[in-house]
Structure 1
Amino acid sequence: MNHLSSLRDYLDALAKLDDLRVIDDEVDAELEIGAIARYATEHRAPAHLLSRVRGFTPGFRVLTAPAAYSSVPDTPYARVALSLGLDPDTRPLRLLDGLVAAQSAAPIPPVTVASGPCQENVLLGADADLTRFPFPLLHHGDGGRYVNTIGTFVLRSPDRRWTNWGLARAMLHDSHRMATFTGSPQHIGVIDDMWRERGERTPFALVLGAEPAVPFVSTMSLPEEVDEAAYLGAYYGRPVELVRCRTVDLEVPATAEIVIEGYINHDELIPEGPMGEFAGYIPDWQVELPAYTVTAITHRDDPIMPVVCAGKPVDEDHTLVGLTHSARWTHYLREAGLPIAASWMIPETAVHVLAVTVDRDWRERTGFTSSEQLCRAIGEACDAFPHGGWWVTRIMVLDHDIDPTDLRDVLWGFATRSHPTTGIHVLPDTAIMHLMVCYTDAERETGRGPTVLFDCLREDDLNIASFAENYPQAVQERTRQLLAGARPLGDVL
């Protein structure tokens, strides 16, 4: 495993893949940064490093599409794989292996070091001015410029027992305040509630441009009171290095590009939103949220600010959430005693659809007499999944031969194995997310609505007409040899 311990190491790796471009022309923070990110995301172009932003200090740089699908042919998950310390051609299902295994491994707590590049420049008090930085207006219709789209908030419980890393959007309000859309049951909100109940401000740090694995674990919805830093240590087999903040009692990744420190003021409300979101739409509402007041900003020399422009799939909202929650679903459902081969939140569905494949011997292992019983058990377990069940509107339960990361496989299995009427089961009252436009206003208001199960399991054994399933191993090997030795047509004709 190649642990890339800084964003700059990651950019070097992207450059070696020829999956990074630099734009030296001056770019406007109003819509142009967002448009570059959105175009590159939708067209699977390289990531872009914007070296000049109009009206801002030379040297302040922006990175767009940092973990979207890669431009490298046949390896859409190359950026994700590199972020997680793996070879760029690692197949999607293999990306889950380490993330699943680390959930059962002993945590390795982080270590605090004396100093780090993230504090090469320290701005305090009035100098800690958010408007110095090229935070962009991403979409036409957003309520303002967004300070955070892929950065990590660090909060700690008042008793210091639990430190949470979580990802939440944050909108610029003025030079020292921003509004963040979060609340319980999100873990950032759970910890914030603890401080609120004590009548105290909540200390926070916002980390922009940490080492590339940090945003992934920050979206993972690990169980309550599990520290993401210790989980990441378990994943890599060694501790993550942190440094102490300057004005709050928190620690942050030492190689981060920018760190914003401050306190959440619960009695001061400021507007947040609207903003283009992961479902691919821009809502028309704005809310009043507690002000995140800045006390310090530290940054590296010539800092790089990663930016995600959320919208129509597939962007980082879908690669980060899709991969990490797939690892959580797989581990969780197996722990529940279900015969799960793999779970995959399909990025192309804006992570609304969960594809679950089950082991060949599911009947013997579960004692279920019908596939409907298994499907309903999976659906009910998903609804009960703490801090995550609301992501899914539809669940496809598929046979073991289907690769849930391959859309061609999933659509084939769905279309040919799910009966058009009896293959559909409904859980009428499940947790849902208010940002999902497929639900009614009333359902989004209450956070409750239906989840649909598609039973794509066959009771009979299928004789599948595919290369891997139909031909003897010796014939497969001989076929590969023949194909490898094939030559161009040349002048034969």
Structure 2
Amino acid sequence: MNAPRLHSLREYIDTLAGLGDVQEWAHEVDLNLEVGAAIRHCYDTKAPAPLFTRIHGQDNGFRILGAPGALSSVSGAPFARVALSLGLPFSSSGPEIVRALADARSVTPIAPVVVDSGPCHENVLLGDAADLTQLPVPLLHDGDGGPYINTWGTIIVSTPDGRWTNWSIARIMRLDRNRMTGILHFRQHLGQIYRMWVDQGKPMPFALVQGAEPAVPFVAGMALPDGTDEVGFLGGYFGQAQSLVRCRTVDLHVPANAEIVIEGHVAVGETALEGPMGEYTGYISGSPRPLPVYHVTAITHRDQAILPVVVAGEPVEETQTASGIMASAELLHQLRQTDLPVTDVWYSLESALHLLVVTVPRDWSERTRFTSEQLTRAVADVVSGSKAGMWASRVLLLDDDVDPTDANEVMWAFATRAHPVERQHVVDVKPIVPLMLGYSAAERQAAAGPMKTYDCLLPTDNSRPRRTAFTHNYPFEIQRRVIEGARRASVNVGSASDSPR
């Protein structure tokens, strides 16, 4: 059963507050590294999401929400922020979230509706008044090439003929009061659409949306097929159209309840140095390089607007929760389309998405008549041929007695079930993310490299070994008695010397 759809970032924050999963930082913080360090500390300690309300040098009421889609501090609900963002119960598990998204891939899209006005237009700044330096843009890592204005916002662009509108996420660095620069990679839809505009010799209109309803960044990061409008998928997923308003200086539409909208054009033939930046792989990535320039023509925002900020780096942060979970859902959908008996698909968040886990039921051989080698190859073919598979350098094919979201179980199962040399399948070349440090410089430059899939499946006959884990080895009645006994013992905690003699 779904939870209510949260229509704005502020509704989302209020819901998190009700769970104790947001904390106000009412003391003054500095945009120069302090905000970034505070958010990184929240990731490392799984603390509530920080809401910074006093920012040094800012007297215009802007606020910052850190870690908006990270793992939650709510006990027993690590994916609460992701689940609530996607209209699911806060206690939903990782596989439950992935299955809900994969199911929605077969739902008919619902086109957005355009409304006359929305909160995002409470303040309209045009021309010289559209000053990026008035926004609370932090320097996130010691080593970044500059302050990054986009870490969780959605970039909206359309093809020159207007037939395809794409919503996506890519990092963008602020240059000065009205210019930005960022990645428009040819493997991404954003880069592909930009190339269409370049081919016509025209600047590309864009809108950068910050603080839309919480589902938007997740859907914007999903590897949907070419030509698919994310806003239509979002409407179909919720069974309700997204409300949009028209931009003030470009022919695009944006979510009406957004906190901040930055409008303008991406220039043709003009570049500026971007980077380096701390990235999801856990390293300060790359060196300064020339990338296209975004020219700003308008900024609109809500009163006391909130800028969501992600500090990419060592897991687990939003690159892993958003990109990993959304790509897992897309791969589950595609594997289902090939009639492979797959239970779950999960990008290991702790591996910085380099490791993909695919689980199958014990009776997989009866459902497919495949050998385990054939099944391994079939899974590898789908993953390597999918845009959603570009994150993976290794794939583990496991029985579904293993919880793919439990890094300890996955490590144990991989170490004990995979042959060190045999039962492995290598795909020589597939798309990869250029930030993946384990690949060679040439492979990263080409955004292409190999992938290995490990057949970790147990025997399907009577030689299949029994697990010794609590939930797998003991009868249900014994488990129930032990859990009840542990609960009773927990209220009688004391030292040995307190025991009666």
Asked whether the two chains share a fold, i.e. TM above 0.5, the reply is yes
- 2:328–2:388: 8 Å Cα contact kept in structure 1? no
C-alpha deviation, 1:475, in angstroms: 4.8
Q: Is the 8 A contact 2:331 2:389 kept in 1?
A: no
CA distance in 2, matches of 1:4, 1:35: 29
Cα separation, 2, equivalents of 1:138 and 1:233: 33
Give the Å deviation of 1:467. Answer: 3.9
Identical residues among aligned pairs (%)? 49
| CA offsets 1:150-199 (integer angstroms, 9 cap, x no match) | 00000111222111100011001111110021222211111112222222
After superposition, residues 315-330 of structure 1 pair within 5 angstroms as 315-330=317-332
- 1:164 is matched with 166
Q: Tell me which of 243, 250, 259 is aligned to 1:248.
A: 250
Residue identity opposite 2:443 in structure 1: E
Q: Which runs of 5+ in 1 are unaligned?
A: none
Residue in structure 2 matching 1:462, options 460, 465, 487: 465
Q: CA deviation at 1:69?
A: 1.1
Partner of 1:70 in structure 2? 72
1:225 aligns with 2:227: yes
SS at match of 1:458: coil
Counterpart residue number, 2:99: 97
User: Does structure 1 residue 488 correspond to structure 2 residue 491?
Assistant: yes
CA contact (8 A) 1:57 1:132 kept: no
Which of residues 33, 36, 56 is equivalent to 1:34?
Answer: 36
Deviation at 1:441, TM superposition (A): 1.4
Q: Determine the structure 2 residue equivalent to 1:264.
A: 266
Change (3 A) 1:41 1:486: closer
Other structure's SS at 1:391 match: coil
Do the aligned partners of residues 473 and 159 (structure 1) sit closer, same or farther apart at CA in structure 2, a change above 3 Å counting?
A: same
Q: CA deviation at 1:477?
A: 5.0
Aligned-residue CA RMSD in angstroms?
Answer: 1.7
* Counterpart residue number, 2:453: 453
C-alpha distance in structure 1 between counterparts of 2:223 and 2:69, whole Å: 18
Q: Which residue of 2 aligns with 1:206?
A: 208
Kept in 1: contact 2:273–2:289 (CA 8 A): yes
1:145 & 1:488 partners in 2: Cα distance?
50
1:83-122 superposed matches below 5 A: 83-122=85-124
Superimposed CA distance per residue, residues 260-279 of structure 1 (whole angstroms, 9 cap, x where no aligned partner): 00111112111111111110
For 1:116 and 1:364, locate their aligned partners in 2 and report how far apart those are by CA, in whole Å.
55
Q: What TM-score do the two structures reach when normalised by structure 1?
A: 0.96
- 1:396-433 deviation digits (Å, cap 9, x = unpaired): 11012111111222122112211222243332323222
The whole-number CA distance in structure 2 between the counterparts of 1:489 and 1:43 is: 29
Hey, what does 1:424 align to over in structure 2? 424
* Correspondence list, 1:384-399, <5 A: 384-385=385-386, 387-399=387-399
How much does 1:376 deviate? 2.0
Shift of 1:485: 5.8
Q: How many residues were matched structurally? A: 491
Q: 1:464 to 1:319 in 2, by over 3 A?
A: same
Q: For residues 206-241 of structure 1, give each alpha carbon's deviation from its aligned partner in whole angstroms, at most 9, with x where no partner exists.
A: 000111110000100111111111111111111111
Give the drift of 1:480: 5.2
Structure 2 CA distance for aligned equivalents of residues 388 and 196 of structure 1: 26
Q: Does 1:310 pair with 2:312?
A: yes
Task: Report Cα offsets for 1:350-381 as digits up to 9, x if no partner.
Answer: 11110000122221232222x22211221122
| Contact 2:330–2:388 under 8 Å retained in 1 | no
What residue in structure 2 maps to residue 379 of structure 1?
A: 380
After TM superposition, where is structure 1 displaced by more than 6 Å over at least 4 residues in a row? none
3-state SS of paired residue (2:227) = coil
Change (3 A) 1:218 1:487: closer
Q: Which residue of 1 aligns with 2:182?
A: 180
Partners of 1:52 and 1:58 within 8 A in 2: no
Alignment partner, residue 61 of structure 2: 59
Superposition TM-score, scaled by structure 2 size: 0.94
Q: 2: CA distance between counterparts of 1:43 and 1:459?
A: 40
Aligned amino acid, residue 165 of structure 1: W
SS at match of 2:449: strand
Counterpart Cα distance in 1 of 2:430 and 2:86: 33
Match of 1:433 in 2: 433
Distance in 2 separating the partners of 1:340 and 1:80 = 23
Distance 2:199 2:47 in 1: 47
What are structure 2's unaligned runs of at least 5 residues?
none
Of 454-463 and 85-94, the range deviating more from structure 2: 454-463
